[in-house]
Structures are given as C-alpha cells and as structure tokens.
Amino acid sequence: MSKPILELIDINKKFSVYGSFKILGPKSYVNAASNISLKLYEGETYGLVGESGSGKTTTGRIILGLTKADSGQVVYKGKNLLDLSRSEFRHYRKDIQLVFQDPFSSLNPRKRIGDILEEPLIIHDMGNKKQRQDQVFKMLETVGLQAEHYFRFPHEFSGGQRQRLGLARALIIKPKIVVCDEPVSALDVSIQAQILNLLKDLQKDLKLTLLFITHDISVVRHVSNRIGIMYLGKILEEADTDDLFNNQLHPYTRALFSAVPDFTKSYKKRDTKISGEIPKLSEDFKGCVFYARCPFAKDKCKNEAPLTEEKQEKHSVSCHYVEKFKER
Amino acid sequence: MTETQKVQDIESIRVKYLKEQRSLQLRNLKSNRGLIIGSSIILALIIIAIFAPIITEFDAYQMKASQRLLPPDNVHLFGTDEFGRDLLTRVVYGARVSMSVGFIVCFLSSLFGLIIGVYASFYKVLDNVFMRICDGLIAIPGILLAIALMSALGASIWNVIIALTIVYTPSIARIVRSGALVVKEQAFIEAEYVQGAGDFRIIWLNIVPNILSPLLVQATYVFSSAILSEAALSFLGAGIPEPDPSWGNILQASKLVINKAWWMTVYPGVLLILSVLGLNLMGDGLRDFLDPRTKNYGKRK
C-alpha cells in the first residue's frame, strides 16, 4: 500500500472538569483521546465509529487544529501540524477541510450563498473576482444546485441543500483531506443517500481522502474502506470494512454490530449483548477500557491494559483474549 | 454559452432576485405599523429641527420684556416665555439641540460599545478588563454619573455629549458582548477557522453583521434615553447652559411659572414625549424588520 497522507501518532487529549471554584484547579479529567494512532492513505475513506462521547469528534477536531492535543503528533507532508503556529498552519488549512454535522448552524445566516462560497477563495488569495465567481458557479453545479441560488440566503434552503452547500464550501479550495463529522446524521434517510452518493462521486473526481466520523454503522459500511472502532477515547479495533463486517475480533465491536437492527437476516445466536452504561469518562483506567461491560472480562483485563496488536493481516485489535474469544 | 452571455445571465439573475427581495421587504415594511409610525414621528422632528429658521421668523435669543408670558395666539402660536421670547421658536431650536445630542450620543456610544463588546467577547484577557470597567460604570446610577461628569467637565453641549456617551457605552457593550458570545460559538465561525480566516475577518465580517440588529435596536433606545437624560440634566441645571434652548431648560424655566403659564410646560413636554415614543416604536419595529429569519411574508404577528 502507498504511503499514508496523514498520520496520527499517539494523540492524547484530556479535558479538565472544574468544580464550583475554578481557582482550586480541575476537579477531574475527561479522557477524550488516549494514545490514538491512525493512518490515512491517499484516496481512501476511513470510517471512525463509536458511541456518543467516545472521542471521535475530538479526534477530528485535533486534526483540524480546532482542539489542541496534549501530546502526540499529526504528521502531514513530513511536518507535525501540532508544532506549527497559527499563521504557519494557515497554509495547511487549504489541504484539510471539514464538513459539519449540523447544516443549520454551519452557514452564516447573514451572508448570501455566493459570498459564503467565495470566502475561502478570498482567504487563500485565489484568482480575481471574476475567476472566483466562475468557480463558485461551477461548484454550485457540481453539488447539484443552480446558479440562481448564488444570491440567496441560507435560511431559504432545506437541510439537504444546506449540507450540499457545506460540502461545496469545504471542496471549493480543492483540499486533499476532508474530515466529515457526522455529515448525514442530521438529515432524513432519503437525503442521506443523496449526500453520501454525492460525496462518493466527488471523492472519485477530486481524489479526496476522507475521514468519516459517524455512529451509524450502515452508513459507514456504505462509504468507507477501512473502519476504526472507538470507545472511551481509544481505538479498540481497526480493519478493512469487509473484513470487519465478517469477522469482529473485539467483544465490543461484536456487540456494537449485533445491535444494528437487520431485517434481512434471521436472528443470530451468537449475538453479543452488553449491559450497563458507558462508564464515567473521568475514571482512570488501569486495565481495559471495556472491562466494566465486557461479558468475557477476566482479572487480567481489570489490571492490565491490552496493547493494540495486529492479530491478523491489516486487522489490529486491542484485547487480551482475542484467540479465546474467537472460539466462542 | 459564451463568456459575455454568461455574465449577462448572472446579472439578470441578480437583478431578478433583488427585485423579488425588495418587494418582499416592502410588504414586510407595510405590515410593520410600529416602524412606520415611529419613523415618521422621528422624521418629522428631524425636519422641524433642520428647517427651524424657516418655520419661525422670531429670534430664539432676543428678549422682549413687554411680551412676557403671553398665552398662545395667532402671532405666538405657543405663547411666549418669561423673558418674552417666542416659545415655538425656543421649542423648535430646542429640538435641534436635543435631537443632535441624542443622535451623537447614540452614534458614539454604539461605536465604542460595538468595539469594546466585540473584542471583549473575542479575547479573554480584554474581556476581564473591559467588563470590569463597564461593571463599575453601570454600578453608579446613570444620571448621577452624568451630573458628576458635568460638574467635573463644566457645562457645554459637547460636555453633555461626552458625559452621556460615557454613561451609555457600557450598556451597549454588554449587549454586543452577550450577542457576540453566542455567535462566536456557532459552527459557521468554526468553519472560518477551518478555512484559515484571520481574527479581523472573523470579527468584522462574520460576527459583527450577526449582532447588528440587536445593536441597532439598542441604539434607538439609547437615542431616546439620551434625549431624556439631556432634558433631565438641563432641568437640573447641569446640562445645556442658558441661553441656548433645549427642552430640558425650557421645562426648568417653566417650573417657576407653572401656575401662570401652562403652555411653557406642555409644549416642550409633548415634544419630549413624542420623540421618545417615536424612537421606542421605531426600535420595536426595527427588531421585527431586521431579522431575516422572522420574515412573516406580509402577515402581522
């Protein structure tokens, strides 16, 4: 496989939780990301899946420089983006863009569509007024909107159209990598399909690399080549999409997948059920993060954190008892 | 399609769209009774103030001892004051002073309030500095603060303007700051960061347009309170010094003769009420009119 275009190495992020008196220092910490390492290869779609609060959005924001990581590296073009100052970072902004989850708050309500789409071109000083305008019209067409939408305001559009506009804004400066933070979870199902197909077509045409953050497993199966499963700020399992859907090695992944309602297949006996709530994020884990809810947990899981190992080809997992679990 | 054709095409779309927007806005305007009534009152008062020399042929300063305290008649429509000056002339020239003091105070405090509020919301260090100063200023009752400033600065029109600007800037700064804090957390501001926009672009091209409508509404209220405060200051003798006419000092003079000459209290009082009423109606109307999200397409709320 080719070289990775973007690499995350050992990213850690803790959020401080303050009590009533801020001066006394933080009361506790929330682990949003602990030792996250992942590689994005050129042209692929990497799906980052997890429950709410598993740190998948934080990971995306760290790549974009919207949240500062405590430690670790984001390597792009041989440079660690986290070391760059804000003005140096600006040059790389062009290559890494974001599509937002909520299409309603992500467009400035006071600006016309044309101005919204033109703004990134102005910021990065691309072309004169007329060239920019032409590009905006071309982009509107690319995402399936009409030229007459140029002068309208965001509130005159539907959710699906707004998400197209969000896509257009991210793509107009021709980025290499696009982080999609749950781009379809605010839309209804028929629109979801439209946006996902549009995204796939655009990826092919513009040779984009996508980091697709979602909690929707059927969506991630549709769009991504590789999937990482996140739980409490850790990537528990990572594999190619087909591989992962046929052969889940981590008990959490299996539980997650069996929780997806499936009307085409009969009820599977091997269903893994987990009970209980996601533990308090502020807890410090000595052992495996999934220990409290894992149906197969042993003493070793409580006291010793499992390492992430490549148990099968291109399939890494972080669990002590992968071999035993497979037999079950 | 050739290039020129395409350009024409874009142009025609733009014109068509703007026309559509304008007719919509007109319809919205027509249904907004408060805005129409309020702004016509204010417009009338401004016209009166501008054309004061045409409206009356009397001199606002010349005293005539023989014509003291004449009741309203054909010559002196509003009667005369205790020095025999035509009251209509005094009131009309007073409108000049009161309206311009109100307008300049409103403009300056909006400007300073906007700058202070928006930067306070954006930079945490500035926030603590600016907002503590504003807290301090707000803690002192406005009229007391103005009187204190006036006694320190001395009585003149510009000193009234400076004192009232200092009094009203903190309230605008607070409104702007709270609005900007909300806007700042919206996803579209995050989108600006992702695109690599600088602070200046984010603040002035993205945050400020989104807080202009609360600012404008607040500014009309400041306009009306500035007129009232100026009148109050002049009434207390700490405002516009005699013999310059202002509604406040005409009222002050009328206090002594209120039993003999009702007209000296009533006319400046009515104009004062009218201007404040007009401005408040206008402020309410503007708030409904300015928000593009509350367009109700011709229906009254």
**d(Cα B127, Cα B198) in Å, to the nearest integer?**
19
Testing the interface with A: which of B3, B9, B22, B188 to mutate, by most A Cβ within 10 A? B188
Question: What is the least distance, in Å, from the CA of B49 to any CA of chain A?
Answer: 35
Indicate whether A265 pLDDT > 70. no
Q: What is the pLDDT of residue B118?
A: 95
Domain of A217: which CATH number?
3.40.50.300
The total of other beta-carbon atoms located within 10 Å of residue A243's CB is 16
Tokens of A132: 């920019």
Task: Classify residue A119: in a domain, yes or no.
Answer: no
Assigned CATH topology for domain B43-58+73-294: MetI-like fold (1.10.3720)
CA distance A241 to chain B (A): 29
pLDDT of residue A272: 65
Q: Is A109 at the interface with chain B, CB within 8 A? A: yes
Give me the residue spans of the domains in chain B. 43-58+73-294
Q: Is the ipTM of this complex over 0.95?
A: no
CA distances from A99 to A27, A52, A141, B100, B300 (A): 34, 18, 18, 50, 38
Domain presence at residue A194: yes
Among the ranges given (A207-216, A267-276, B7-16, B118-127), the one the predictor scored with the smallest mean pLDDT:
A267-276
Instruction: Kindly state the greatest CA–CA separation across chain B.
Output: 85
| CA gap A64, A46 in Å, rounded | 16
Handedness of CA B146, B149, B154, B158 (dihedral sign): negative
- Does the residue A167 lie in any domain? no
Residue among A238, A266, A267 nearest A252 (CA): A238
Structure confidence by residue, pLDDT tens digits, B107-151 = 999 999 999 999 999 998 999 999 999 999 989 888 888 999 898
Give the pLDDT score at B1. 47
- Report yes or no on A152 lying in a domain: no
B2 has a chain A CB within 8 A of its CB: no
A200 found inside a domain: yes
Q: How far is the C-alpha of B169 from the C-alpha of A192, rounded, in Å? A: 48
- Which whole number is the average pLDDT over B20-25? 82
Structural domain count, chain A = 1
Contact A155 B292 (CB under 8 A): yes
Query: A118 in a domain, yes or no?
Result: no
* The pLDDT of residue A263: 66
Provide the residue range defining the domain that includes A254: 4-95+175-327
Residue among A93, A133, A153 whose CB faces B195 most closely: A93
- Record: contact A102-B201, CB cut-off 8 A: no
Q: Mean pLDDT throughout B55-66?
A: 83
Q: Give the pLDDT confidence score for residue B3 in this predicted structure.
A: 57
Report yes or no on A240 lying in a domain: yes
How far is it, in rounded angstroms, from Cα B113 to Cα B106? 10
Q: Do A90 and B14 touch (CB under 8 A)?
A: no
Which residue in B has a C-alpha nearest to residue A101's C-alpha? Answer: B187
Comparing CB atoms, the residue among A107, A120, A151 nearest residue B195 is A120
Q: How far does chain A reach from its first CA to its final CA, in angstroms?
A: 33
- Measuring CA to CA, which residue among A206, A221, A214, A133 is closest to residue A170? A206
Q: From the CA of B209, how many Å to the nearest CA of chain A?
A: 7
Q: Is the residue at A190 inside a domain?
A: yes
pLDDT bin (cut points 50, 70, 90) of residue B292 is low
Beta strands (DSSP E) in chain A are 4-18, 26-41, 45-50, 71-76, 79-80, 96-99, 177-181, 209-214, 226-231, 234-240, 309-312, 315-317
pLDDT in the model for residue A288: 84
Does pLDDT of A281 surpass 70?
Answer: no
Q: Is A97 on the interface with B (CB under 8 A)?
A: yes
In this prediction, residue B300 has a pLDDT band, given cuts at 50, 70 and 90, of very low
State the residue for tokens 């054309």: B51
Q: Which residue has the higher pLDDT, B14 or B164?
A: B164
> What are the pLDDT digits (tens) for B242-282?
888 989 989 999 988 888 888 889 999 999 999 999 999 99
**Mean pLDDT score, A208-215:** 92
Whether A131 contacts chain B with CB within 8 A = no
Asked whether the beta carbons of residue B188 and residue A107 sit closer than 8 angstroms, the reply is: yes
Asked if A119 lies within 8 A of B292 by C-beta distance, the reply is no
In this structure, which amino acid lies at residue A65? G
Mutate to test the interface with B, among A90, A94, A110, A167 (most CBs of B within 10 A): A110
Residues A167-199 have pLDDT tens digits of: 999 999 999 999 999 888 888 888 898 899 999
